[in-house]
Amino acid sequence: MGDPRISMINERLRRIRHIIAVSGGKGGVGKSLTASILALTLVRKGCKVGLFDLDFTSPSTHIILGIRGVQPKEEKGIIPPKVHSLEYMSIIYYTGDHALPLRGTDVSNALIELLSITKWGKLDFLVIDMPPGIGDATLDIIRLIKNIGFLVVTTQSQLAFETVRKLITLLKELNVPVMGVVENMKVSKSSISKRQVQKLGITFLGEIPFDKKIEKSMGRMDRLPRTVFMKKVEEIVSNLDFRC
């Protein structure tokens, strides 16, 4: 007759005002870093924020934010622990450091399971770190979550942008809101990405230069807020109409 979990998903997300999926066409463009820093920036603005790492086969936001030694609480569902003032959820609570090889159907099932049992608090924003591309996780998120908006990350590389173009075209066809595009790891002054984004009728949110110091700031909450990356994300957020 049917999978009962799907009926619960929007009920579980009911107390969240805005859901932002940080996405991109290719891996390695900085989606996880953008999602993590965006979540931290919103917390520093005084918002109530959740961060959900949906990249099940390659989760990394816990490494960026130095999250370890915490587990969700079980109370008529799963309550995400609060870390750095964020409600944080990731598959790593269950896999630890082990690999999780998943095919498409399994990705969908794991995603539905976590969405239907995770009990988020009252949040202004839930930031979702998406796996790359337009595969199962992206299609499921679009299918299952009402009122979701996409923030897309690209780089100066034409390869990255071509995949972003496909992602944006799909989102537009499905009438899914695209908040805008961020250009990460910028190494030259070229404004090709900006022009291409605008040509698609999408807001160009800003550019983040290649930050040589970011690697040494991974997992370091004392260093991350001082990075150029975080300063640029703060600028982008201040230009958006994000209210807590």
Partner 1 sequence: MHEWALAEAVITAASQIAEKEGLKEVTELNIKVGELQQIELDILNFALSQQKQNKFKNAKISIKIEKAKLKCRVCGNQWIFSREKLDKDSVEAIHFVPEIAHTFIKCPKCGSPDFDVLQGRGVWLESIRGVK
Which residues contact partner 1 (rule: CB under 8 A)?
1-8, 11, 56, 74-78, 91, 94-95, 98-103, 106-107, 109-110, 113-114, 116-117, 119
Task: Choose between 41 and 90: whose C-beta lies nearer to partner 1.
Answer: 90
- Taking the CA atoms of residue 26, residue 176, residue 112 and residue 72 in that order, the dihedral angle to the nearest 10 degrees is 80
Query: Tokens in use for 61?
Result: 């936001």
Which amino acid, 43? V
Judge whether 237 and 125 are in contact, CB under 8 Å.
Answer: no
Task: Choose between 110 and 164: whose C-beta lies nearer to partner 1.
Answer: 110
Q: How far is the CB of 201 from partner 1 (least distance, A)?
A: 37
Q: How far is the CB of 36 from partner 1 (least distance, A)?
A: 22
Chain centroid offset of residue 179 CA = 13
Largest CA distance in the chain: 57
Strands (E), 113-236: 123-129, 148-155, 178-186, 204-209
Q: How far is the CB of 136 from partner 1 (least distance, A)?
A: 12
Task: Choose between 40 and 89: whose C-beta lies nearer to partner 1.
Answer: 89
Q: How far is the CB of 103 from partner 1 (least distance, A)?
A: 8
Among 185, 227, 226, 223, residue whose Cα is nearest residue 207:
185
DSSP designation for 130: P
Q: How far is the CB of 106 from partner 1 (least distance, A)?
A: 5
Task: Choose between 3 and 222: whose C-beta lies nearer to partner 1.
Answer: 3
Task: Choose between 28 and 135: whose C-beta lies nearer to partner 1.
Answer: 135
